[in-house]
Amino acid sequence: MKLVVPTSFKVLSHKGKVVRLCREDLDKKAKDLCPRTKDSTVGLYDHQTHTIYLVDTLKGTELIQCYLHELIHCILYSTGQDGLSEDEDFVDLFSEVLLQILSSQKGKLENVQIND
């Protein structure tokens, strides 16, 4: 199963971006966005700029897992569900189940072309 981490996407009326940063820059960004952050993180969502930041050492399943986790934050913030977005357990559970479903899909009922 091939899943793609894009460089940009559209969320409601905003253009979202995905940017990879080195560990040092990501930690700096995390401190700027959330001064309470203590532990070093592998991903981050900036809801002011609609940007997902991912550390550049992530690969494979960890990369897509982190992308989906940050994408769930993005969806929740963008739809006014800030409280749910701040619930890391909820976001983790949602993104893990989403990855399981996406990576286990089999068969092709129909091809669907979606316009952008």
Binding site for Zn ion (CB under 5 A): 88, 91
CB of 88 to Zn ion, least distance (A): 5
HEC secondary structure over 22-72: CHHHHHHHHHHHCCCCCCCCCEEEECCCCEEEEECCCCHHHHHHHHHHHHH
Of the pair 24, 88, the CB lying nearest Zn ion is at 88
Of the pair 3, 93, the CB lying nearest Zn ion is at 93
Of the pair 15, 53, the CB lying nearest Zn ion is at 53
Q: Is residue 5 within 8 Å of residue 64, measured between CB atoms?
A: yes
CB of 25 to Zn ion, least distance (A): 18
CB of 91 to Zn ion, least distance (A): 5
